[in-house]
């Protein structure tokens, strides 16, 4: 991937990590342009937000059944993955997010 492609797709890549709505907005903005850098980060952002939703649901169930309130910190997993991905996008890196970057 060349430097020009990265610079052109950087804004959409960063937007994709700003909530799930930002991911959808970046997806629709990128449909016509087909920027490779933005496409990569949109996929990574989608993985981060879906992971966050799933882990939050599981954490809520575990808290409900076990009563261990410290498990509520697991609900920040999607946000942490999105922050890591956004930092990579800002720096122009094509690196997968930890744990779930290879899924799909």
Residue 100 lies in a domain: no
Instruction: Quote the number of domains for the chain.
Output: 1
On the question of pLDDT at 90 being above 80, the answer is yes
Residue 8 lies in a domain: yes
Residue 103 lies in a domain: no
Its pTM stands at 0.89
Residue 94 lies in a domain: no
Residue 104 lies in a domain: no
**Which of the four pLDDT bands, split at 50, 70 and 90, describes residue 33?**
confident
Is-contact 32 22, C-beta < 8 A? Answer: no
> Is residue 47 within a helix (H) or strand (E), and if so which, with residue range?
helix 36-66
* Domain extent at residue 30: 3-89
**What is the three-class DSSP state of 69?**
helix
On the question of pLDDT at 104 being above 80, the answer is no
- The whole-number average pLDDT for the span 9-38 is 93
pLDDT digits (tens, 9 = 90+) for 34-87: 999 999 999 999 999 999 999 999 999 999 999 998 999 999 999 999 999 999
Residue 97 lies in a domain: no
Residue 95 lies in a domain: no
């Amino acid at each position: 991937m060349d430097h020009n492609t990265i610079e052109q797709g950087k804004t959409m890549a960063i937007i994709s990590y700003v909530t799930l709505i930002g991911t959808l907005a970046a997806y629709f903005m990128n449909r016509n342009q087909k920027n490779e850098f933005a496409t990569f980060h949109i996929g990574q952002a989608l993985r981060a937000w879906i992971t966050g939703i799933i882990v939050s649901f599981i954490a809520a169930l575990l808290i409900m059944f076990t009563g261990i309130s410290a498990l509520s910190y697991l609900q920040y997993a999607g946000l942490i993955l999105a922050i890591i991905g956004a930092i990579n996008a800002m720096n122009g890196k094509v690196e997968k997010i930890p744990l779930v970057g290879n899924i799909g």
